[in-house]
Structure 1
């Protein structure tokens, strides 16, 4: 059995920035949901032995091709059970600054309790990704929405962003998508029924401003996010033109940060000289500059675990070719197989 340990993450100003999760346990086989990779920048996201998507990175490294096989998924044990009305009401009445913190803890506790198998042993980070107003974009359409984690520089944590234009359609998913990495695409794993009873309920919660966040898993090879929980919540937000909120899960590795002592000393001397010459030098600015100068905490870099399970590029290409031929959507097949950017998209 895996063991989970989590703690709150704060920046140097004491502001909450997410959760740090350590997962330990004996080596296990492949989980229900996992990535397979192969040569020539090919990958597949698998649910047991069923491919949910195929992906390949363009040779220009400006984006990737995605071939989706959206279908109902039957989790043997859902990573997050259905959220009930009592939980929604409890979080709804929390102060705004506490709501995302509480929802993050809720999701992590649920993942721990149900031993979510896609969370392989190692270090993970859960961070909120919130709507941000961007004035340079005009209009109120979904394509102008922008979401981001806190962009301050002192947390040393991964920073995520996404644009509304990168939210892929889960009502009538297209088999082929070009993933522009500037968009931070959101990929659904199954179709959504707009007439389902829970859709009506979630739309009501969206209008009441009590919609829980959508839980995402960052997949580094695609520079995109996979929806783990919240397909219907996301669709309800879109239907009501309400900007959703997200919690992004990512496995990370830490790298030491070793400041140069000579540089530190020069910065220190410069700050002291400024302080002596300017009696009105702001103390808080001075202290923050000193803290930043001597901050040697490690940096977190996002890493996505995968299994080298694609036998050959030929196998991957044959699967994609057959899938697209069966759906009569082969217009982009050559670009996909050759890893070329789309001429028009």
Structure 2
């Protein structure tokens, strides 16, 4: 696997690009049976969902089977990496690479500090209120509302959020007050149109309790390497065509017509940046056995709950 830093034109660090090879199916895997996704972690069902026919939202059933692949983070490590999401990204990337339980599979990924979740909070809304509103409620069952939260990309915990009196949350609250809180690791899943918490539910709970903006790293797929060169060529070709168009206009109307570089140049920069950072749809694998198998798994995980989820 290759990794490289992604920066803006001004040198600002955006994230870490991960180019994964020879990993055909991940340990934390999205399976699909028509409109019925299943997320499984090394054969353990983690989340079952049903997408509404009218695409208004998703009903889900969450098991308690999810296990984070990130080991407990020591306080001294957190202090050493304080303020550097770039260094945290390299550490988390290694956990993602080394663990058989991570969602990585072959292709290009971005581990980014620029989550869209940061853009939605109104200045008059506290961090605690905002992040509480972004959490999807419900355990073991719940609903992801695509109508009310269209484009907001909520946050779905993969296990129940811990209470404020939880010992881990108390320890992280202290780190939050000190400014040494490690980042929360999110995974954007396009089939659910929301972010899943890979690690750590307790750190997010601590940030909410202290009403601070949680440090975040977001994982998502980006343009595959075999498509990247062709798309770069398309962007450059568009830029060249724009300059040629302005050259023709200048030949007809004179030098008062700009040469086009002032508009085509920034557009090219944006296009090239998006090729390295834009979210691509999450891959899913056909569920062996299809919908019948999905229903069998649903019956097993909901047994004894009097659930009509199936």
Alignment TM-score, normalising by the size of structure 2: 0.77
Partner deviation per Cα, 1:146-173 (whole Å, 9 max, x = no partner):
xxxxxxxxxxxxxxxxxx523134xx73
Matched, 1:234 2:204: yes
> 2:87 aligns to what SS in structure 1?
helix
Task: Decide whether the 8 Å contact of 2:62 with 2:159 is kept in 1.
Answer: no
Q: How many residues align?
A: 291
Equivalents in 1 of 2:120, 2:161: separation in Å? 28
Match of 1:153 in 2: none
Equivalents in 2 of 1:140, 1:231: separation in Å? 19
Partner deviation per Cα, 1:167-224 (whole Å, 9 max, x = no partner):
134xx73512233243312122223443432221101111222211111111111111
The within-5 A match list for 1:280-295 is 289-294=263-268
Structure number with the higher helix fraction is 2
Relative distance call for 1:108 and 1:270 in structure 2 (3 A) is: farther
Query: How far has the Cα of 1:276 moved from its partner?
Result: 5.4
Relative distance call for 1:186 and 1:275 in structure 2 (3 A) is: farther
Matched, 1:144 2:144: no
> 1:250 aligns to what SS in structure 2?
strand
Matched, 1:34 2:29: yes
Q: 2:135 aligns with which of 142, 167, 183?
A: 167
Say what the alpha-carbon RMSD is for the aligned residues.
Answer: 3.5
Equivalents in 1 of 2:250, 2:157: separation in Å? 50
- For structure 1, the 5+ residue unaligned runs are 146-163, 338-345
Question: Quick check: 218-227 or 103-112, which moved more?
Answer: 103-112
Match of 1:206 in 2: 176
Task: Decide whether the 8 Å contact of 1:165 with 1:183 is kept in 2.
Answer: no
The within-5 A match list for 1:190-269 is 190-194=159-163, 195-254=165-224, 255=227, 256-257=230-231, 258=234, 259-260=237-238, 262-267=241-246
Alignment TM-score, normalising by the size of structure 1: 0.70
Relative distance call for 1:269 and 1:19 in structure 2 (3 A) is: farther
